[in-house]
Structure 1
Amino acid sequence: AQAEKAQAIEEKEGLKKELDGKDKEIARLSNQTQDLEKQVDDFKLKYQKELDKVAEKQSELKEVTEAAPSAEKISELEEQLKTAQAKNSSIPYDAQFSIHRENIRKTFEELLRSLTALAKIDPEQKEINRAAAQEMLQNMANMLKEWPPAIKTNMRINN
């Protein structure tokens, strides 16, 4: 009985240390997330400044083309402007995607570690949790196959 009690205390201490490690990892990831969010905000600010510059340049171009109109040159410049705006508009979303992808990857690693630890303690519960996680991940993968989803409605159009 004493040996079992000592073993239980050791396991408790081990779990406590592991929990402290997880708390530190969560704090580190939270700080990293905040840093990445700040980077996203910085990119948004840079993007807005670039948009302001583009708007300023566009007004300058308009003045110049009014003085010497050339329809071909105007359409070419407008096309370049649209292309530049389209490229810059995805920057904040790319940054957010990177943040979320990294969070999902790390969380999945934590899930695997938890299942591994649970397998040693309670294999039946581990199998239940594994099946639930697999179903959730399968559903997520199925959702990603066609994103964004098609709009569905229950309305019928009479002819």
Structure 2
Amino acid sequence: MNIKSIIALSSLLLLLVGCTTQEKASPVLEANYSIVVSKSSNQLTLLQGNNEIKTYTVATGKNGRTPVTTFTIIDKLKNPPWTDFTGKHFESGEEGNILGSRYMMLTSSEKPQLRGFGIQGTNKPDDIGKQTTRGCISMFNEDIEELFELVPEGTIVTVID
């Protein structure tokens, strides 16, 4: 699927969500933001409707660990703590915390078994532009801080090869 097809699909999804709710329009529908992440180019593109707003260089999962699917941002954290895979806890800014200054938690309704994926900052800026993560999408801290302020919870994130 190419980026133009993803843009059209994202717009259709947002339109369908808007047609099925009786509540006041959410900021997502008002702003009409969506995100497309290309694993092959390690690029995250912010879209508003069909218009490309900005493209960021990112790190994605090594050995294909970032799943190709459609996600939704369900939570956003400033200065997030992190618990590693051995159970050791790290506060924000503490050496060993890989999340950087921001974290946006992702969920996939088409693949609900996928857990623990997100868009985050990093304490390893040299990894940006490479496929080095355990599956999350990592950004320079200044980039995730900018994106964090622009997109609300509920934003659609589509990951493509």
Q: Which structure carries more helix by proportion? A: 1
Q: Which has the larger radius of gyration?
A: 1
TM-score scaled by structure 1? 0.25
- Structure with higher RCO (Cα < 8 A, 6+ apart): 2
Q: Which structure carries more strand by proportion? A: 2
TM-score scaled by structure 2? 0.24
